[in-house]
A = this chain, B = another copy of it.
């Protein structure tokens, strides 16, 4: 699992490419160069996507496929420290459609407590909270 980063046009912006050739722009937005993602935002994407792969995989194995799925992520940073790492991250797992709230919650629990490698890394320094919301109802 290797990655290459190249400086983009003399800015504090970098084009990152993985081994299969997917690339993205990451860095510090400056002037007209605002269409990038920040490194700390990528950590949140990494966490949410890592657990989402588990959640969808677990539910699909139970033949639960007929729902819309999204995750929103909120974060608080330790702004009085340098560097300002995350203090708390909240993941909202949102399901709409035909899915048992119990099974959805079980899939999220299994991911964050057992399978997700990114959460095992990030939970060393930040509290990871989550909510499971099925058809508008909160199963915290």
Contact = CB atoms under 8 A, between A and B. Distances in A.
Contacts of A68: 7
A119 to B, nearest CB: 8
Interface in A9-54: 10, 12, 14, 16, 18, 20-22, 24-29, 34-50, 52-53
Contact of A124 (B7, B16, B46, B125): B125
Interface bracket on A = 35 or more
A140 interface: no
Per assembly, the copies of the chain total 2
Nearest to A56: B12
Given A22-B35, A49-B16, A70 B7 contact: yes
Contacts of A84: 117
A63 interface: no
A31 to B, nearest CB: 13
